[in-house]
Amino acid sequence: MDLSDLIALKIKELLNENNMTGYQLELKTGIHNSTIYMFLTRKTRTIRIENLKYICEAFNITLGDFFSDKRFDNVEAKDWQKREK
């Protein structure tokens, strides 16, 4: 699983844990439901860090809490290429 997939999975888990819909998340974050939907259904593979911050605030967690999940320890960003120095 790559980083983007894991972030989407984590958001879906938080939605389930908090009995929240994408529409409710839109109301709490100000992020359009279509933007949330496109990321969660993997039609787009990127999420702005600011949007992730707003999502974390909606769940009353910090970005640090979000990424403290052990699954992030060894995740890879497969679709991105690192530039060689």
Domain count, the chain: 1
How confident is the model at residue 78, as a pLDDT? Answer: 73
Closest by CA position to 53, among listed 72, 30, 78: 30
Average pLDDT on 9-22 reads 97
pLDDT of residue 4 exceeding 80, the answer is yes
Query: What are the pLDDT digits (tens) for 24-76?
Result: 999 999 999 999 999 999 999 999 999 999 999 999 999 999 999 999 998 88
- 36 inside domain: yes
For 63, phi then psi, to 5°, come to -60, -40
pLDDT of residue 81 exceeding 80, the answer is no
pLDDT of residue 80 exceeding 70, the answer is no
- 42 inside domain: yes
Quote the domain boundaries for residue 43: 3-72
